[in-house]
A and B are shown apart, each in its own frame.
Chain A
Amino acid sequence: MYSSASQFDGNAAFSGGGFMPSQATQGPDRSPFPSKNRDAQSLLPLTVKQISDAFQSSDEKTNLIVDGVDVNNVTLVGRVCNKAGRITDVTFLLDDGTGRIECNKWLQEAVDMNEAEGILDGMYVRLHGHLKGFQGKRMLNVFSLRPVTDFNEIASHFIDCIYVHLYNTRLRTGVSNQQHVSNPKPITPTKSYHAQANPLNQFSGQHINGQKSVEEMVLDVLHLPTNRARDEGVPRDLIAQHLGVSLDKLMLAVKNLIEEGAIYEAIADHYKSIING
């Protein structure tokens, strides 16, 4: 994923020039943070309380970590208080009911200014920002700020916070085992794979006594080594023959799998699993 860093070594080319990270921290493998993948850079819905708790339990030098995930960009919903506008930037406190956090938005263009002018004290806003430490305190560098018009967004945001917390604390521990397998080959995209794994489990849930669903059996067939090797995919007749099910039943399962994104039609009536490699 980060192979470009090894192809072009900026440190070697420009001797750093003061802008490159020092040798010790450079390179994806030697990074002090365990996962510098895209998961770590995701936008986290958080409450101010979560940020505050994480801040108190971490020393200031390192990144903020909430539920084992590096916090960079966050999204919050709350009321604006103590707004102070200046020519270059606007600062305010965001009160989401769990606490208050200082926010700052730089005004670069006329659009930003109009946007900021529309935000008044007492308004509910959804904001996206970058959490950063500045002189020993945490503040939020806001890059998007818009008023909440449908107030269901407030409940929705907090339910999001709960979900992400649950995902990162419980569900993720199962996922991370597979993510940290030190296989140098670019294997399956774990994130999307697991996203698909759930719907497939649902299929199996529909069947009694742990009997495999047609969908799962189709995947099993497609995952057979001989079938993996077929670039053109596996003909549907062959799958049907292999499973001993009618073509109608098979096509229903195939359609479901295609909708889930688990398989695709390589050429007409030939199917391939996306995780064939």
Chain B
Amino acid sequence: MLQPLLRKQKVEFFKLYIYSFTWLIFSFLFQAMDTSNPAAFVNAQLLPNFIGKKVRAVVQVNQCDGGVAIAKSIDDHQLTIKGLPQVPLMNYVEVIGIAESNNSIDAEIWTDFGNTFDANSYNQLCQLANGEFKSLFL
């Protein structure tokens, strides 16, 4: 009575195992290259085009308290960055996150770019990456 039930359960388990394994293989295959969620290069001027989407921006943090930072974008506009920990003030910091509004970003990742960063070149790159050469980036 108990024996066939157990065997059936075993088969079910085995099936589940096979399914999960195939799924794993498939997800791995499609993971090999994924361009579905790019982070666009933005300055403050370009930010409004990406509301609700992932962006990357380089900013200089002026003040930071309670997870909300007031920062200057590379094209000299004021931005609000949320979810930023205490970062070195006035250093160039790259934030990657979701554009919330015309002047705020909800940061997920940040990297300190130091204070020898060439903001002008980066700003020009932002413009190229959203203009003539957009096809290379987005």
Q: Is the CB of B94 within 8 A of A137?
A: no
Looking at the assembled complex, report how far the CB atom of B94 sits from the nearest CB atom of chain A, in whole angstroms: 7
Task: Please indicate the chain B residues that have their CB under 8 angstroms from the CB of A187 in the complex.
Answer: none
| In the complex, A150 has a CB within 8 A of chain B | yes
Q: What CA separation (Å) do A47 and B113 show in the bound complex?
A: 21
Q: What CA separation (Å) do A150 and B92 show in the bound complex?
A: 12
Looking at the assembled complex, report how far the CB atom of B30 sits from the nearest CB atom of chain A, in whole angstroms: 8
Q: Is the CB of A99 within 8 A of B38?
A: yes
Contacts A49-B38, A97-B56, A99-B38 hold; do A155 and B137 have CB atoms under 8 A apart?
Answer: no
| In the complex, A264 has a CB within 8 A of chain B | no
Chain A residue nearest to B128 (CB atoms) is A162
Task: Please indicate the chain A residues that have their CB under 8 angstroms from the CB of B117 in the complex.
Answer: 151-152
| In the complex, B32 has a CB within 8 A of chain A | yes
Chain B residue nearest to A134 (CB atoms) is B32
Contacts A101-B32, A152-B117 hold; do A122 and B125 have CB atoms under 8 A apart?
Answer: no
Using a CB-CB cutoff of 8 Å, which residues 24-64 of chain B contact chain A? Answer: 29, 31-36, 38-41, 56
Using a CB-CB cutoff of 8 Å, which residues 145-181 of chain A contact chain B? Answer: 150-152, 155-156, 158-159, 161-162, 165
Range for the number of chain A residues in contact with chain B: 20 to 34
Q: Is the CB of A98 within 8 A of B32?
A: no
Per a CB cutoff under 8 Å, which of B33, B113, B125 touches A137?
B33
Chain A residue nearest to B112 (CB atoms) is A151
| In the complex, A100 has a CB within 8 A of chain B | yes
Task: Please indicate the chain B residues that have their CB under 8 angstroms from the CB of A138 in the complex.
Answer: 32-33
Task: Please indicate the chain B residues that have their CB under 8 angstroms from the CB of A79 in the complex.
Answer: 109, 111
Using a CB-CB cutoff of 8 Å, which residues 87-127 of chain B contact chain A? Answer: 92, 94, 96, 109, 111, 113-114, 116-118, 121-122, 125
Q: Is the CB of A99 within 8 A of B32?
A: no
Q: Is the CB of B125 within 8 A of A100?
A: no
Contacts A97-B41, A99-B38 hold; do A161 and B33 have CB atoms under 8 A apart?
Answer: no
Looking at the assembled complex, report how far the CB atom of B89 sits from the nearest CB atom of chain A, in whole angstroms: 17
Q: Is the CB of B32 within 8 A of A102?
A: yes
1/0 contact string of A99-123 vs chain B (CB within 8 Å): 1111000000000000000000010
| In the complex, B18 has a CB within 8 A of chain A | no
Per a CB cutoff under 8 Å, which of A101, A122, A155 touches B33?
A101
Contacts A97-B41, A97-B56 hold; do A159 and B121 have CB atoms under 8 A apart?
Answer: yes
| In the complex, A51 has a CB within 8 A of chain B | yes
Q: What CA separation (Å) do A124 and B31 show in the bound complex?
A: 20
Q: What CA separation (Å) do A99 and B54 show in the bound complex?
A: 12
Chain A residue nearest to B126 (CB atoms) is A155
Task: Please indicate the chain B residues that have their CB under 8 angstroms from the CB of A158 in the complex.
Answer: 41, 125, 129, 137
Q: Is the CB of B33 within 8 A of A98?
A: no
Q: Is the CB of B138 within 8 A of A49?
A: yes
Q: What CA separation (Å) do A52 and B37 show in the bound complex?
A: 13
Per a CB cutoff under 8 Å, which of B35, B40, B94, B114 touches A99?
B35
Q: Which of B92, B94, B121, B137 has the most CB of A within 10 A?
A: B137
> Which B positions have Cβ atoms within 8 angstroms of A?
29, 31-36, 38-41, 56, 92, 94, 96, 109, 111, 113-114, 116-118, 121-122, 125, 128-129, 133, 135-138
The 9 closest A-B pairs by CB, nearest first: A99-B35, A137-B32, A151-B113, A97-B39, A52-B35, A100-B34, A102-B32, A155-B122, A155-B125
